[in-house]
Structure 1
């Protein structure tokens, strides 16, 4: 249907503008055919581009058939295309696995920093090149809650916002298992190599996530003592049902002296003690106030493809009106800009506009 095509177009282009590695939308066309889901909908085709479309599931496909020749050819191609440095390693497939794990740690850290929820993180939706792909039941979280789920098929919260790092870890273990025969001729040694690489993911993710958080909080680096500061901030966000994007953007405004977001949302009194602690922390930080303000401006977007705006664009397109889609595409293409005339696009959904479920549809 046309709707899922437009959702992927909008969200993938937003992710690109936000600086997240992603597949891109080359084009979308209607087909003139009718697609039947719950009702009859106009059909469409999305053409997407990525640096490659090779997935964890691609390796699993050949491994499940014990086709080691094909699996070896696949890994050689991935190394040549994405991780050429691995070819010079004593164990090229291990070096490739190590590089894929690092790429995914960085990617998921960026997702978490933006409140992005993929919605269906199976192994066939994880690219070995480290780009986001398959924007099906995806959405951006508004009120902060790690348990947030949008996908209509995720009944148990497997792919909830807070679970995404764990699922990435699980998927990478699947990749390691698939390439075991190429890691070492001795199976026990192969398992040891694979386990050591996969076991490093949590630490690598935390390191990447801390870099994202340091930028969002206006810190030159993230120390162990900052972990409590962050946890307390997130606890307050959940307690107050605060909008994740606006809260961080408002924090960035406090660092720069701007007040555009303040017209939409400001810190309630419950944040007073925390804000004092944050002021004291940034006063001890090594960077200048000007550098901090610029850093936070780049790390905390004002405009994301909010779910109700995406649905608004889709519903209008079903009626033949693509102007809301084109306008939203323009706005999310400049996610960090202070544009007062676009401020309504930064507004969270009103209760009657809230989108509680998203659907794969393709």
Structure 2
């Protein structure tokens, strides 16, 4: 084995109830179909080794690095509002890599077979959803939104039964950690206070070490997680991203976006947009994402109550005070982001009405979310319904007057807009096109081109109409599906 590769696993320092030692299932014919050389370089990994036959054995789980203990993590969670015991049912954490900058990242195999937490599932994954996560997570990285990353995708040589038979695959996922709100719910529900404290201390040291020596460190911890999630969800909203399954097991304490199952990006702007086939009630619709993030964080606060104060009433009061801050934090991040999208440098009392008026017109005239802001940036209009509206023309006059009130020049305003308004997003029809060609024909050229464009979504010098054009009417009713 390559002697330069070393994986640690500090999660093993936690009480053993938090994990189960678990070897990945061996697969018959592993084949590397996607390798993220950019991410590998950031992590200090040897791309030549991992693209070799021996490296593929490691990435597939067929061979485990010496002195490592792969594990499946235990956690619980609320799924669509209902609490249940969960855990890594189809994932194995190989270990942690520490970069030259002393940053620590989990290396996890997704789709690596059954674990004690599989709950009857086969523990496997299919190629389409794993490639989808690769595309979307790299798209989020390009957009500047905190996200888990995809290091590699491998086919396994297996045939997996879902609605039809599909090629089996494994995703190699990189994350700051996989500690979830549901991990704390698991500790609070099934373990004792000392074990909950051990989890909290470990998490603080790993992600928020600057607060470890502070008084009331668990309150500070809750505050920091609330703040990070408020900023993350604002980032989602600002680019029209819809996660689809905001269960508490899909909210990680590090503040990254995780689990790209039935997620998608909005084309036509409408706050009630839902893509996920399993979200039949619209619980996780676009407009509900901030509210549901607050709900999930309230479950974290509940789990932390035993650590917040010796007096139960005081502990609940602290938890409530911290959760109550989410709304204002979120709105601060969101309004700040919306001002930037409109080229506004400073707060003005008319900004809220200006922003809300534009969004209202976008709904009324069925405007494309991304292209509306791209058009404003370029001082053009590609959407006939919007431009033919007298209301929109009046709004444009108000917006231009607001920009002219600033000390900064209109050129500076345009540059600010270019820095936050993407020209391209992972358009659903382009993602599906790339997946269809890859899965059906083993042709990855469309995927490679799409990922390449998504790495520079704020590039206004090289606009590509193929990737910015919204879908036609055939995209109405677009649905996404969970990969399990």
If the TM-score is normalised by the length of the shorter chain, which range does it land in?
A: over 0.9
Cα distance in 1 for residues equivalent to 2:461 and 2:471: 19
Unaligned runs of 5+ in 1: none
Match status 1:185 vs 2:306: no
Shift in CA distance, 248/107, structure 1 to aligned 2, threshold 3 Å: same
Cα distance in 2 for residues equivalent to 1:222 and 1:156: 37
Q: Determine which structure has the larger helix proportion and give its number.
A: 1
> What is aligned with 2:429?
308
Cα distance in 1 for residues equivalent to 2:374 and 2:435: 27
Q: Give the alignment partner of residue 231 of structure 1, picking from 350, 353, 356.
A: 356
Match status 1:136 vs 2:261: yes
Q: Determine which structure has the larger strand proportion and give its number.
A: 2
Structure of higher RCO (CA pairs closer than 8 Å, 6+ residues apart): 1
Cα distance in 2 for residues equivalent to 1:70 and 1:345: 49
> What is aligned with 1:268?
387
**In the TM superposition, what whole-angstrom CA distance separates every residue of 1:278-314 from its partner, at most 9, and x where no partner exists?**
0001111232222211110011001100001111111
Match status 1:204 vs 2:329: yes
> What is aligned with 2:291?
166
> What is aligned with 2:222?
97
User: Contact 2:267 / 2:470 at 8 angstroms: preserved in 1?
Assistant: yes
Structure showing greater radius of gyration is: 2
Shift in CA distance, 323/354, structure 1 to aligned 2, threshold 3 Å: farther
TM-score, structure 1 normalization: 0.95
Shift in CA distance, 233/263, structure 1 to aligned 2, threshold 3 Å: closer
> What is aligned with 1:277?
398
- Deviation of residue 67 (structure 1)? 2.2
Cα distance in 1 for residues equivalent to 2:347 and 2:273: 26
Match status 1:27 vs 2:152: yes
- Deviation of residue 338 (structure 1)? 2.8
User: Contact 1:75 / 1:93 at 8 angstroms: preserved in 2?
Assistant: yes
- Deviation of residue 161 (structure 1)? 0.2
- Deviation of residue 91 (structure 1)? 0.5
Q: Give the alignment partner of residue 114 of structure 1, picking from 233, 239, 247.
A: 239
**In the TM superposition, what whole-angstrom CA distance separates every residue of 1:126-173 from its partner, at most 9, and x where no partner exists?**
011111000110000011000000000000100000000000000000
Cα distance in 2 for residues equivalent to 1:58 and 1:265: 49
3-state secondary structure, aligned to 1:88: coil
Cα distance in 1 for residues equivalent to 2:348 and 2:161: 53
- Deviation of residue 185 (structure 1)? 1.1
Q: Give the alignment partner of residue 318 of structure 1, picking from 415, 431, 439.
A: 439
> What is aligned with 2:45?
none
TM-score, structure 2 normalization: 0.72
Q: Give the alignment partner of residue 252 of structure 2, picking from 124, 127, 130.
A: 127
Shift in CA distance, 286/78, structure 1 to aligned 2, threshold 3 Å: farther
- Deviation of residue 190 (structure 1)? 0.4
Shift in CA distance, 354/33, structure 1 to aligned 2, threshold 3 Å: farther
Cα distance in 2 for residues equivalent to 1:44 and 1:265: 43
Q: Give the alignment partner of residue 4 of structure 1, picking from 129, 134, 156.
A: 129
Cα distance in 2 for residues equivalent to 1:339 and 1:44: 37
Moved >6 Å (runs of 4+): none
User: Contact 2:127 / 2:169 at 8 angstroms: preserved in 1?
Assistant: yes
Q: Give the alignment partner of residue 219 of structure 1, picking from 344, 349, 353.
A: 344
Question: RMSD over aligned Cα, in angstroms?
Answer: 1.4
Match status 1:50 vs 2:172: no
3-state secondary structure, aligned to 1:361: coil
3-state secondary structure, aligned to 1:326: helix
**In the TM superposition, what whole-angstrom CA distance separates every residue of 1:220-242 from its partner, at most 9, and x where no partner exists?**
12333211111110011001110
Cα distance in 1 for residues equivalent to 2:346 and 2:159: 53
Cα distance in 2 for residues equivalent to 1:265 and 1:134: 36
**In the TM superposition, what whole-angstrom CA distance separates every residue of 1:37-71 from its partner, at most 9, and x where no partner exists?**
11011111111111111110010011111422221
> What is aligned with 2:82?
none
> What is aligned with 2:419?
298
> What is aligned with 2:467?
345
Of 350-359 and 297-306, more deviation after overlay is shown by 350-359
Q: Give the alignment partner of residue 272 of structure 2, picking from 144, 147, 151.
A: 147
Paired residue total? 356
